[in-house]
Structure 1
Amino acid sequence: MKRRVAVIGAGLSGLTAIKCCLEEGLQPVCFEQSDEIGGLWRFKEEPQDGQASIYQSLTTNTSKEMMCYSDFPFPAHVPNYLHHSKVLEYLHSYARHFDLLRHICFKTLVRSVKKRPDFTRSGQWEVVTVNSEGLEESAIFDGVLVCAGHHTYPHLPLQDFPGVETFEGQYLHSRNYKRPERFQGKRVVVIGMRNSAVDIAVELSRVTEQVFLSTRSGSWLISRIAGDGFPTDVFYNTRLVNLLQRLLPFTWVNWLAERHLQQRVQHRLYGIQPRHRALSRIPTLNDELPSRIICGAVVVKPNVKELRGSSVVFEDGTVEDRIDVVIFATGYKVSFPFLDPSLVPVSKSWKCLYKHVFPAALERPTLAFIGLASPRGSLLPVCELQSRWSARVIAGSQTLPPAKVLNEDIEKKSKVSKLRLVASQWETPEEDFISYMDELAVQIGVRPSVPWLFLRDPRLAKAVLLGPCTPYQYRLSGPGKWAGARGAILTQWARIKEPLRARRCCDDPQSFSGLLFGLTAATVLCVAVTCYVQWQHPALLPGLLKMAGPLAL
């Protein structure tokens, strides 16, 4: 008899969780509170209680090749950065292609998830749900995958802003912001410096009298577009860059990153210079903020000290009068109201989850959290790898290490975070994209071996090491191997270029500088491969040299 798994949520993580369960011979039952798939990517004119909410102009901050499912590439004609409606279309295509919709119970709220009395032996859960007609139902499951996301419950720290109760204007959380039209001609303060805060400030600056962007600590700012016009993430999320970051001292890497970011805009001059180093917190991504600041449409201010009538007083003593609206872009709280707090202390959830997925204290590993990490890259492929691993563990295809090892790993991660990352109000742990993906891939047995690829398929190995670390790399071998992975990797640049070629131009002739660049790249490649092989497989190089010795003679 197939093991039954409850999947909570039918967003991007819930859909791949269903598929992964099916691939492992499990029987998934997905409970979705709304009437449609998509989760965060479903736009609604009015925020819905218990559901994520986005603004109408939202566009992805990771490019399509970096944020697709590993065996389902985006079509070539799709733009590299996508409007939320395009992402929703993609999720619908994915669900239809793999026939996932029949496993989803729509308009069904999960009320509680509790251990069965015999949990220590069976690992089973009792899941209580309520349908749209208010009928309650209880069912037994062998596993639970929590795919409910962490952009549902707003963090609104009003206690930190004296006078907000008597503020004569309007205040709201960014989840309630939808369109700029209602703010026409107003004076608006946006509090926050993460992606949503800056997106909203920039958009409002086109219709308001004035926008003030208030930030407590500033942020490093990056663009969607790299120096040569390609998506930024395909250039910097590569295995070669990741290798250099791990080999070089952390302070050196920060210095190089900051030097590069300062070349686009002098952060101190524009008032956005943060107190932390570039790699100590995920940077803010926006293409237009510097131009809106230099035009005066956005004025950067320090943290708000208090609200006084219709005025806002800032920590530097300056006062802005006639403020009509204050928007709190202050993030979200991680909350799972259907779970007993004793299972996962939400305020410290990342400190008790092995690899940010499995609660280390559970007697049986049949509960997993999908999507709780905050990678320096796309969350979608991370969710997919987490789901592949979780499904295999619940199916019994592989096991977790002893509890002692789990806790040691959690403690190790905590120490590294304290050394490299700054303390933050955000409750989801930040992770390096490639390093964390590889950690998960090792658990499944799907991490690509670059040295062996160079021996067997040099063309593919070059693309894997020097090119973007796209999700297809984790389908080249091992459980879940996909026959189309190699082709997807070798054609990824063509799909990146395709939507940019609306007007065809003549190709530039090959120049000497291009040849010189190629020779330099080849030299760097050889050095990098040698370092990588020596680092990952210390015994491999001496063995190859011994084999090559007699041939040379």
Structure 2
Amino acid sequence: MEKKVAIIGAGLSGLIACKYVLETGFQPVVFEADEGLGGQWRHTIESTKIQNPKQDFQFVDFPWDSSVKEDNPNNQQVQAYFNAYAQRFGIVPCIRFNSKVIDIDYVGESNEDIKSWELWNGDGTPFGSKGTWHITLQDTKTFSTEVYKAEFVILCIGKYSGLPNFPEFPHGKGPEIFKGKAMHSMDYAALDNKTAAELIKNKRVTVVGSGKSALDVATEIADKNGVNYPCTMIQRTVHWFLLDFKIWGFSLAYLYFNRFAELLVHKPGENLLLSLVATLLSPFVRSSNRIKSYFFL
């Protein structure tokens, strides 16, 4: 009996999941609500680039094309890279575009049995249970619905899933009393260049947040409006911004962006060995912080 595997989302993680499911011999189906693959990279502003060197942002079995000379490719180059990856490994035929998942239900097993499981279908294997996943799909163009049944589901919907995280404000202290315009970065990214330029022209703009999207939006607005109408960023917590600084060809960022970095700090509930390692490495932490302060401040 053919085992059906459903993958939800055709972004970065969805493409990788589909490739490895294909390699196991199954025939997966990827459901993507958008018209193309790429996930959030299809909804970024024009000036968005990857924040890491391209060597640190690539598939292990599919390097960047030699025509990409930039160290930090832009969103168009990233999308082209994803599409080339999908073409290379036969992923595109598996994707059903304009198919939005609006409901998932597990049918065929009692709630009592499911709650008793610790792994998958009760014995640690991904297949073999009596139940199946019922996935309700909506065509984003015709709004018709259908139900797809699968034995296994992989969620690759990303951290934000296309939903803007707009904070809640007390009554009388929110955007409704603001005389200007308040919008989320996702809504700004959805604007075309002309509309975005007209929206911010000759206006003082404040960007709340200091994440990747905040920095991208603030940079673009500052470039378009210049010094006469400055862009202000407001952040809740001060962050370190690590530059691509190297000593003898070794990037300092690697000291903080890997598993080794977790050994440098004490953690709640750590055992004696981890506590001893963090204590022994504390001089290294202090010296590296001095180096950062010297070069970055």
TM-score range, shorter chain: 0.7 to 0.9
Asked if residue 166 in structure 1 is aligned to residue 200 in structure 2, the reply is no
Matched to 2:59, the amino acid is: Y
1:221 counterpart residue number: 241
Matched to 1:34, the amino acid is: D
Q: Aligned pair in 2 of structure 1 residues 253, 146: CA closer, same or farther (>3 Å)?
A: farther
In 2, distance between residues paired with 1:232 and 1:71?
A: 23
2:202 counterpart residue number: 185
Q: Aligned pair in 2 of structure 1 residues 66, 54: CA closer, same or farther (>3 Å)?
A: same
Matched to 1:226, the amino acid is: F
Q: Aligned pair in 2 of structure 1 residues 210, 240: CA closer, same or farther (>3 Å)?
A: closer
Partner SS for 1:16? helix
* Equivalent residues of 2:246, 2:252 under 8 A apart: no
| Gap runs ≥5 in structure 1 | 43-52, 267-553
Matched to 1:22, the amino acid is: L
Give the alignment's TM-score, normalised by structure 2: 0.75
* Equivalent residues of 1:123, 1:143 under 8 A apart: no
In 2, distance between residues paired with 1:111 and 1:197?
A: 29
Partner SS for 1:212? strand
Matched to 2:50, the amino acid is: T
* 1:48-79 Cα deviation digits (max 9, x unpaired): xxxxx321110001222222112112234422
Asked if residue 263 in structure 1 is aligned to residue 258 in structure 2, the reply is no
Query: More deviation in 161-170 or 21-30?
Result: 161-170
* Equivalent residues of 2:10, 2:31 under 8 A apart: yes
Which structure has more relative contact order (CA 8 Å, sep 6+)? It is 1
2:40 counterpart residue number: 40
Q: How many equivalent residue pairs?
A: 255
* Equivalent residues of 2:108, 2:131 under 8 A apart: no
Asked if residue 154 in structure 1 is aligned to residue 161 in structure 2, the reply is no
Give the alignment's TM-score, normalised by structure 1: 0.42
1:176 counterpart residue number: 187
* 1:473-506 Cα deviation digits (max 9, x unpaired): xxxxxxxxxxxxxxxxxxxxxxxxxxxxxxxxxx
Partner SS for 2:64? coil
* Equivalent residues of 1:126, 1:139 under 8 A apart: yes
Cα root mean square deviation, aligned: 2.9
In 2, distance between residues paired with 1:122 and 1:238?
A: 43
Partner SS for 1:28? strand
The Cα shift of 1:155 comes to: 1.4
* 1:382-434 Cα deviation digits (max 9, x unpaired): xxxxxxxxxxxxxxxxxxxxxxxxxxxxxxxxxxxxxxxxxxxxxxxxxxxxx
* 1:287-314 Cα deviation digits (max 9, x unpaired): xxxxxxxxxxxxxxxxxxxxxxxxxxxx
* Equivalent residues of 1:18, 1:28 under 8 A apart: yes
Partner SS for 1:109? strand
The Cα shift of 1:242 comes to: 4.7
Matched to 2:230, the amino acid is: Q
* 1:194-241 Cα deviation digits (max 9, x unpaired): 222233223322314122221222222222x22469795874478795
Match of 2:133 among 111, 125, 133: 125
Matched to 2:55, the amino acid is: E
Query: More deviation in 21-30 or 121-130?
Result: 121-130
Matched to 2:134, the amino acid is: E
* Equivalent residues of 1:158, 1:164 under 8 A apart: no
The Cα shift of 1:30 comes to: 0.8
The Cα shift of 1:104 comes to: 0.9
In 2, distance between residues paired with 1:218 and 1:109?
A: 38
Q: Aligned pair in 2 of structure 1 residues 242, 215: CA closer, same or farther (>3 Å)?
A: closer
The Cα shift of 1:243 comes to: 8.6
Q: Higher Cα Rg: structure 1 or 2?
A: 1
Partner SS for 2:147? strand
Q: Aligned pair in 2 of structure 1 residues 202, 256: CA closer, same or farther (>3 Å)?
A: farther
Partner SS for 1:154? coil
* Equivalent residues of 1:63, 1:233 under 8 A apart: no
Asked if residue 212 in structure 1 is aligned to residue 232 in structure 2, the reply is yes
* Equivalent residues of 1:226, 1:235 under 8 A apart: no
Partner SS for 1:169? coil
Asked if residue 72 in structure 1 is aligned to residue 25 in structure 2, the reply is no
Q: Aligned pair in 2 of structure 1 residues 140, 231: CA closer, same or farther (>3 Å)?
A: farther
In 2, distance between residues paired with 1:244 and 1:20?
A: 31
Query: More deviation in 112-121 or 124-133?
Result: 112-121
* Equivalent residues of 2:136, 2:147 under 8 A apart: yes
Q: Aligned pair in 2 of structure 1 residues 40, 252: CA closer, same or farther (>3 Å)?
A: farther
Q: Aligned pair in 2 of structure 1 residues 230, 123: CA closer, same or farther (>3 Å)?
A: farther
* Equivalent residues of 2:99, 2:137 under 8 A apart: yes
The Cα shift of 1:96 comes to: 0.8
Asked if residue 200 in structure 1 is aligned to residue 217 in structure 2, the reply is yes
In 2, distance between residues paired with 1:233 and 1:128?
A: 47
Matched to 1:128, the amino acid is: T
Asked if residue 31 in structure 1 is aligned to residue 35 in structure 2, the reply is no
Matched to 2:24, the amino acid is: E
* 1:32-53 Cα deviation digits (max 9, x unpaired): 11111111111xxxxxxxxxx3
Q: Aligned pair in 2 of structure 1 residues 194, 80: CA closer, same or farther (>3 Å)?
A: same
Matched to 2:239, the amino acid is: S
The Cα shift of 1:7 comes to: 0.5
The Cα shift of 1:88 comes to: 0.6
In 2, distance between residues paired with 1:265 and 1:65?
A: 23
* Equivalent residues of 1:2, 1:25 under 8 A apart: no
Residue pairs, 1:334-413, within 5 angstroms? none
Matched to 2:166, the amino acid is: L
In 2, distance between residues paired with 1:238 and 1:201?
A: 25
The Cα shift of 1:20 comes to: 1.0
Q: Aligned pair in 2 of structure 1 residues 153, 116: CA closer, same or farther (>3 Å)?
A: same
* 1:155-177 Cα deviation digits (max 9, x unpaired): 11141692532111111111122
2:122 counterpart residue number: none
In 2, distance between residues paired with 1:219 and 1:265?
A: 12
2:146 counterpart residue number: 137
Match of 2:75 among 73, 78, 84: 84
In 1, distance between residues paired with 2:65 and 2:185?
A: 32
